[in-house]
A and B are shown apart, each in its own frame.
Chain A
Amino acid sequence: MSRKGIETMVGGFVLLGIVALVFLALKAANLSSFSGDETYPLLAKFDNIGGLKVRSPVRSAGVVVGRVESIALDPKTFQGVVKLDVKKSVQFPADSSARILTSGLLGDQYIGLEAGADEKNFAPGDTIKQTQSAVVLESLISQFLFNKAADAGSTPAAPATNGGKK
Chain B
Amino acid sequence: MNSLAAIGRYTLDSLRALGHHAFFFWELMRTLPTSLRRPYFAVAQVHALGNLSLLVILSSGLAVGFVLALQTYYALATYGAADSVGLVVNLSLVRELGPVVTALLFAGRAGTSLTAEIGLMKAGEQLAAMELMAVDPKSRVLAPRFLGGIVAMPVLALLFSAVGILGAYVVGVLMIGLDPGNFWSIMESGVDVRRDLGNGIIKSIVFGVICSFVAVYQGYEAKATPEGVARATTRTVVISSLTVLAMDFVLTALMFSPR
Chain A interfacial positions (CB closer than 8 Å to B): 3, 6-7, 9-10, 12-14, 16-17, 20-21, 23-25, 27-32, 53-54
Contact = CB atoms under 8 A, between A and B. Distances in A.
Interface residues of B, number: 32
18 contacts: A6-B44, A6-B47, A10-B50, A13-B46, A13-B47, A13-B50, A13-B152, A14-B151, A17-B156, A20-B158, A20-B163, A24-B94, A24-B158, A28-B94, A29-B90, A29-B191, A30-B189, A30-B192
A92 B158 CA distance: 42
B192 A20 contact: no
B184 interface: yes
Nearest to B58: A16
Report whether over half of chain A's contact residues are helix, strand or loop; otherwise say mixed. Answer: helix
B54 interface: yes
Contacts of A54: 259
Interface string B123-135: 0000000000000
B193 A20 contact: no
Contacts of A13: 46-47, 50-51, 54, 152, 155
A10 B45 CA distance: 9
B162 interface: yes
A14 to B, nearest CB: 6
Interface of B: 40, 43-44, 46-47, 50-51, 54, 90, 94, 151-152, 154-156, 158-159, 161-163, 165, 184, 187-189, 191-193, 196-197, 201, 259
Given A6-B43, A13-B46, A23-B162, A29 B154 contact: no
A69 to B, nearest CB: 14
A17 B154 contact: yes
Contacts of A9: 47, 51
A131 to B, nearest CB: 24
Given A3-B40, A32-B188, 10 more contacts: A12-B51, A17-B155, A21-B158, A21-B197, A25-B193, A27-B188, A28-B90, A28-B184, A29-B90, A30-B192
Contacts of B151: 14
Contacts of A24: 94, 158, 161-162, 165, 197
B197 A25 contact: yes
Nearest to B156: A17
Nearest to B184: A27
